[in-house]
């Protein structure tokens, strides 16, 4: 069994997390464990970026260097922005 420890948060944060845990049918400790497991460390993010770039190079023949990847546009952010613009336009037309 994992060794337990104590973390200090404000009462407001504790009460909020306790309510979220209750609504999900879990303990506060289980919720904190779940939230922690969903947050990658900087090292894990770097490993994922490296793996993705490697796959792009191997499978798609991408020849961009790491520097070119880093200086290029944030394609995912641009896709999200376009989707948000489209959603706003659809809502405005429906109103």
Q: What is the pLDDT of residue 1?
A: 60
Mean pLDDT of the chain: 89
- Per-residue pLDDT band at 81 (split at 50, 70, 90): confident
The number of beta carbons lying within 10 Å of the beta carbon of residue 33 is 13
Give the tens place of pLDDT for each residue, 18-55.
Answer: 999 999 999 999 999 999 999 999 999 999 989 988 98
pLDDT at 32 (0 to 100): 95
pLDDT at position 69: 81
Q: Identify the DSSP state of 24.
A: T
pLDDT of residue 78: 74
């Amino acid at each position: 069994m994992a060794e337990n420890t104590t973390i200090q948060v404000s009462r407001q944060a504790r009460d909020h997390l306790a309510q979220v845990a209750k609504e999900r049918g879990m303990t506060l400790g289980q919720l904190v464990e779940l939230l922690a497991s969903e947050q990658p460390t900087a090292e894990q993010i770097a490993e994922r970026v490296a793996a993705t770039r490697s796959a792009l190079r191997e499978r798609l023949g991408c020849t961009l260097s790491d520097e070119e990847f880093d200086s290029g546009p944030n394609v995912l952010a641009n896709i999200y922005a376009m989707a948000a613009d489209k959603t706003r336009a659809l809502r405005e037309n429906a109103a």
